[in-house]
Every structure is written in structure tokens, then in C-alpha cells.
Amino acid sequence: MRRLVPSLLALAMIASAEPGQARGPDPWLGRDKAAHFAVSLGIASITYGVSTRYVDARGHALLIGGGVSLTIGAGKELLDLAGYGDPSWKDLVWDVIGTAAGLAVGWTVDVAIRGVDDRSPALAAPERTIAPQVFRLSF
């Protein structure tokens, strides 16, 4: 997990960074918007799925998946702002929409596979039903 997030961030930045060129109007439905949507969807859903292996609460996995995806999207726009592309707040809006869709896909697949019960609640952490172990020394 420690290697996955920085690798995804670096890959997204390298793949999308190119010297900035003046371009015309920034349409809401361009090819670049579809790319922002698709990449954000993929990053959010994959990160959600990976994080469910490490956190008990699905809500926490949603926060991790959304945070990673939006951080990468914002990082890409900051690179564009630094001169490596054309910054666009519309791109960032499509990143948010793709992130939400990716989290919905990841959560839906997770619920379909693991179901919802006491061990896997819909969003909260599972209740700890096992009493903590008390270690006693006996001589």
C-alpha cells in the first residue's frame, strides 16, 4: 500500500504532464474530461478495494479512496498550473465526479461480495463482540 499510492500519483502526473500550450475554450464534454473521469474512477475504486484489507470500517475505506483520488487529481491540476499543461477547474469537477462514481462502484462490489452484517456493517466499523484478553500469570 505504501508503494501503490506514490506510484499511482507519479504515473498520473507523468502521463498527463506535457508543456502547456494555448488552447481554445474548455468544453465540459471533451476527451480530456472523459480521461479525468475514468482515471479518478479507477483510482478511487482500486484504492477503496485495497484499503478494505487494512481498515475495518467501510466508511474509512471510502475516505481513503476518495482522498487518494482527489489528491492525485488536484496534484495534476497543480502541475498544469505550474506550466506543464492547461489548468482547468472543469477538469477538477470531473475528477470529483469520477471519484464519487469510483467509490460507489467499489462500495457496491464490496457489499455484494461481503454482504452487510455485524462483522461487515454498511459504513461503520464492526462492533467488537470479543472481550479483550486478560493475561494472568499463574505460578
For the segment 28-53, what is each residue's pLDDT rounded down to a tens digit?
888 889 999 999 999 999 999 999 99
Q: Is residue 49 part of a domain?
A: yes
**What is the Cα gyration radius of the chain?**
20
pLDDT at 50: 96
Query: Average pLDDT in the 130-139 region?
Result: 55
Is this prediction's pTM over 0.85?
no
Instruction: Tell me which residue range forms the domain holding 60.
Output: 4-15+26-114
Q: How far apart are CA 43 and CA 5, in angstroms?
A: 9
Grid cell at residue 3? 508503494
The CA-atom distances, in angstroms, between 17 and each of 6, 13, 62 are 16, 6, 28
Look at residue 20 in the predicted model and tell me its pLDDT.
Answer: 46
79 inside domain = yes
| Mean pLDDT of all residues in 85-97 | 93
The number of distinct structural domains making up the chain is 1
d(CA 25, CA 6): 32
pLDDT of residue 32: 87
| Alpha carbon distance 82, 119 (integer Å) | 47
The answer to whether residue 47 sits within a structural domain is: yes
